[in-house]
Each structure stands twice: as structure tokens, then as C-alpha cells.
Amino acid sequence: MAPFYSHPFDDDKLKEECGIFGVTGVVDASNFVALGLHALQHRGQEAGGIVSYHPDHGFNSARRFGYVRDNFTKADVMDTLPGQLAIGHVRYSTAGSKGATAIRDVQPFFGEFSMGGCAIAHNGNITNAIALRRELIERGSIFQSSSDSECIIHLMARSIQKSLAERIKDALRRVEGAFSVVAMTRTKLIGVRDPLGVRPLVLGRISDHGWALSSETCALDIIGADFVREIEPGEMVVIEGNKVESTRPFTPAKSRFCIFENVYFSRPDSIIGGRSVYETRRQIGVELAREAPVDADLVCPVPDSGTPAAIGYAHESGIPFGMGIIRNQYMGRTFIEPTDHIRNMGVRLKLNVNRALIKGKRVILVDDSVVRGTTSRKIKDMILEAGAAEVHFRIASPPTAWPCFYGVDTPERSKLLAATMSEDEMRDWIGVDSLKFVSLDGLYRAAGEAAGRDAASPRFCDACFSGDYPVAPSDKIEEGFEMKAAE
């Protein structure tokens, strides 16, 4: 077991991933970044950081555990981040330390080079980070953190290229896995997406003088920026003044955007690949209703992430939609609790049954995913206890049977319910009258692929459902992870 990849929450369930944001050409850039990160908070709640540059004050940074709103709204912090160029990161760890344990793992990372400073914020996960770190340490690099992302800074330091942008290219050509990166030098804002474009990254325009790079379009909306376009898979943009220069540093590959962004990670008000995430989710519900109908009295979402799919299911089936489960908006995320006991309680604290609506009804519950099954089991107990006549689960993604190695912190394979049980066994284990998942083809149709999944050349990464990993997770294979056998 690699020491810097293990932590006490390793049995936890599927998580979001990081959010990255950067702006240039605006006064008080760090305040824009704070707003952008606040809009991306759903992608990472462990910690956040901002780096800014001002010609008189140089590079400054602030990194904090916890929410953006609790850290980057205070004058005593924001006053230390002057300048018209800034980037930021909200973290959900996939490598290195977890939770609020090591501030040195909180991004952006910064390096001082002969040609000036450079800060980097990374969303994704480097699948050869252990091998790279080993090699870099053997060759003299002194790591400051346990994060995979820090490899990028050290690879840049070893590059012989003359400009920082060229050094970033050199570094990222050695990196395997998933990366969307926002970086800054003294004068440039830089955005890069890995050749498969697994993680999102978009470009926005602020009035006629500024630019923004963001994980999702919802964070452009919050600062009133206009969405210009997506950074394309394998593309690097270097923004200086009013100029956006685009290059393709990597060997071209067919893009494989993460399909789970559509199901769960991205905010429903974001636009991905020209489609509204909300609409895709609603359409998954429509597909589910066609594939897995059931006679019932009420369709209820597991809020919030199951809501658009439940709306689609109700519409397509003609069964009334109702809020049978109410979410306490002030509850923190369940993931922060360290033990199973408290985590299980977390579901109770966060979600409560609307008894008056549920009593005596045959209820269809729609959730986005089943990972360990903890949530489904708790909710079923709550619904039955409130007097439901029947409980049917409909899930807006196929069974999650494989871990993600590209920027989402999934449990090891043996802890995934679908890795060890058939659909019927899962139904019995959760204890519901019926349990059905949308098919992979149905999910692709909902995401805009009318013909379903093209097995020879799938449009998305769907490895957590299919076991078809577009990039071999070499570190994990070295640790003993077994890939799915060829069919």
C-alpha cells in the first residue's frame, strides 16, 4: 500500500471532485475568484485556496480548510490578495491527505522559476502520480505535500523550456490520467484540458476587458461573465491582455468526457457540451420511466441530486410528483463524518420524510446513484416507517461497479454494492419492493447520443459502470488492481 494514498475515510462513498477558477483583466480579481469558487463549492468542500498577482506586491496566496463563504469573504483575507490576475481551487481530495488534515495539500500550488512564479490549480487525478513522485524524488525533487497535483510543479522545474507555458506543456505530457488545469504566471492566465477531456473547463468573457476560466458555466453566471466556449480536450489556452492563444500540446485522442458529470457532479444549471445538465438529468428520468415502469401513486426524488430525474420520470409515467423527502438545507455534507455510525446518522439529519404525503402510498424513489447502498437503505427505512405501502427505487445511473481513478474519490471495488451483488441481490439487501437502474444505453440517449453507447468508440468515460478505463490506472495496477477481463 502506498503511504500517501491511504487515509481513514477510504471506505467512504462516491464524492464530488475539485473546482477550478481563474480571472484576468479585472480589478480585485481575487474577489471574482472567491465568487466563482463559491458557485463551484459543490465540487469540493474540504478546502479552498486563492493565489493572486499584483505588480507591486508580487504573488500572494491564502489556503484554508472549509467553505469559501467562511474564508474568502473576510476583508482581512481578501486584502492580502490584491491584483488583476488570480486563480483558485476548491478541493475534494482524491490523492494525498484527506479532509482538514494537511493545509500543505490545499491548492493552488506555487513554484518559483528562473523566469518568474507560477501557480497551478488541478481538477482530476494523476494515475501515474506514485511512479512520477518516486522518480522525481530519486532525482532530487523536494515535495512539500502529499498531493498528486504537486508533481506538475516538479516536472515543470525539470523542463528546459524557456517559458512557463512551454514548461507546463512539458510537464503535462508526462502526466497520465485526468486533468483540467488553471494556471497563472505574472502576466498570463492559462487553461489546459487533458487529451480525453475527462474533466470540464470553460472560457468566459468579463465585459470587454477580462477573461475567466471555470470548471462549470454556473460560476461564470455568478460573476456576470458571458460563456464563450469550452476549452477543448487536449487544448491549452494562454490568455494575456485581450489575446487568447490556443495550442494542442498532446497527441490527439478521441474525447471521453466523464458521463457522471451529467448524472451527479455538475450543477444542474451548468451547460455541458452545449446541453443543459438539468435537461440531461430530466431526460434520464424519462428513459428510466420507459425502461422500468411500475404501478405506483407517487414519484419522489431523493433531494437534491435525484430531483430532475424524478421530474422526468413523473412526467413520462404520468404518476404524480411529490416532495416525499425534505432536505435540511443547512446540513453539511455527510462525507465529513469519520465513522460509519455518524455517517449513517448524517442521512437522518440531512433528509426527513414528509409523512403526510407518504402515508399509505406506493412510492417510487428516484436517486442519482447507488454506491455503497447506505443512503438507499436508510431512506427505505424512513419511508416505510412513515407508512408507505410499497417502496420502489429507480436509479438515474447504471450500477456503480468499478472505482473511478480520474478525480472522484470512490471506495475500493469490494465496497461497491454492485461489484459484489446482482440487481436482485441489491434489491433484497436494500429491502425494497423493486430496484431498477437506467441502462448504459439509456444514459447515453439522455446525454444526447440517440443510438445509445457505441461500444467500439464510446463518447464518454463510463468506466465506473462499464469497467472500460480509457486510461490504464498504472499506479493502481502496480498496487494489484485488476482491470476487467476482455470480453
Ligand X SMILES: NC(=O)CC[C@H](N)C(=O)O
Is the bond preceding 303 in cis, omega lying within 30 degrees of 0? no
Quick one: CA torsion of 325, 438, 215, 402, rounded to 10 degrees?
Answer: 110
Q: How many residues can be counted in the chain?
A: 487
Interface with ligand PRP (CB under 6 A), residue from 372, 380, 453, 476: 372
Between CA 250 and CA 181 the distance in angstroms is 14
Q: Does 99 help bind ligand X (rule: CB under 6 A)?
A: no
* Interface pick for ligand PRP out of 374, 397, 410, 466 (rule CB under 6 A): 374
Residues 6+ apart with CB under 8 A from 24: 84, 85, 184, 188, 189, 210, 211, 239
The radius of gyration computed from the CA coordinates of the chain, to the nearest angstrom, equals 22
Helix (H) or strand (E) holding 20: strand 19-24
Q: Nearest approach, Cβ of 484 to ligand SF4 (angstroms)? A: 12
In sequence order, what E strands does 69-225 have?
85-91, 109-113, 116-126, 177-184, 189-193, 202-206, 210-214
- Yes or no: say if 449 and 459 are a contact pair by the CB < 8 Å rule: yes
Binding mask 92-121 for ligand SF4 (x = CB under 6 A): ------------------------------
> How many residues in the shown chain lie near ligand PRP by CB under 6 A?
15
Name the minimum Å distance from CB 369 to Mg ion. 7
Asked if residue 17 binds ligand X (CB under 6 A), the reply is yes
Q: Which of 18, 223, 236, 363 binds ligand X (CB under 6 A)?
A: 18
CA atoms of 433 and 90, how far apart (whole Å): 40
Stretch that binds ligand PRP, among 71-79, 121-129, 179-187, 371-379 (CB under 6 A): 371-379
Nearest to ligand X of 2, 294 (CB atom): 2
Q: Residue 221: which of ligand PRP, ligand SF4, Mg ion, none does it interact with, CB under 5 to 8 A by kind? A: none
Which of 234, 199, 196, 200 is closest to 217 using CA atoms? 200
Can you tell me the distance from the alpha carbon of 194 to that of 118, in angstroms, rounded to the nearest whole number? Answer: 19
Residue 258 is assigned to a ligand binding site: yes
Instruction: Out of 53, 313, 406, 444, name the contact with ligand SF4 by CB under 6 A.
Output: 406
Collapse the DSSP code of 291 into the 3-class scheme (helix H, G, I; strand E, B; otherwise coil) and give the result: helix
Residue with cell 455538475: 266
**Residues 259-298, interacting with ligand PRP (CB under 6 A):** none
Sole window of 93-101, 168-176, 277-285, 455-463 interacting with ligand SF4 (rule: CB under 6 A) = 455-463
Nearer to ligand PRP, 150 or 368 (CB): 368
Site string for ligand X, 391-410 (x = CB under 6 A): ----------------x---
Select from 141-149, 381-389, 390-398, 414-422 the region that touches ligand X (CB under 6 A). 141-149
Strands 236-240 and 243-247: antiparallel
Q: Which is nearer to ligand X, 93 or 397 (CB)?
A: 93
Asked if 369 is part of the footprint of ligand X (rule: CB under 6 A), the reply reads no
Residue 40 CB, nearest distance to ligand SF4 (Å)? Answer: 17
Q: What DSSP state is assigned to residue 364?
A: E
User: Any known ligand binding at 305?
Assistant: yes
Q: Judged by CB under 6 A, which of 53, 260, 278, 393 binds ligand SF4?
A: 260
Helices (H), 139-233: 150-158, 164-173, 218-222
Query: Could you tell me if 62 and 72 are in contact, meaning their C-beta atoms sit under 8 angstroms apart?
Result: yes
Q: To the nearest whole angstrom, how small is the minimum distance from the Cβ of residue 288 to Mg ion? A: 16
* Total of chain residues touching ligand SF4, rule CB under 6 A: 11
* Pairwise CA distance, residues 231 & 122, whole Å: 15
Residues near ligand SF4 (CB under 6 A): 198, 258-260, 404, 406, 408, 461-464
Residues near ligand X (CB under 6 A): 17-18, 91-96, 122-125, 147-149, 407
Residues near ligand PRP (CB under 6 A): 13-14, 302, 305, 334, 367-376
Q: Which positions make up the binding site for [4Fe-4S] cluster?
A: 258, 404, 461, 464
Q: Which positions make up the binding site?
A: 258, 305, 367-368, 404, 461, 464
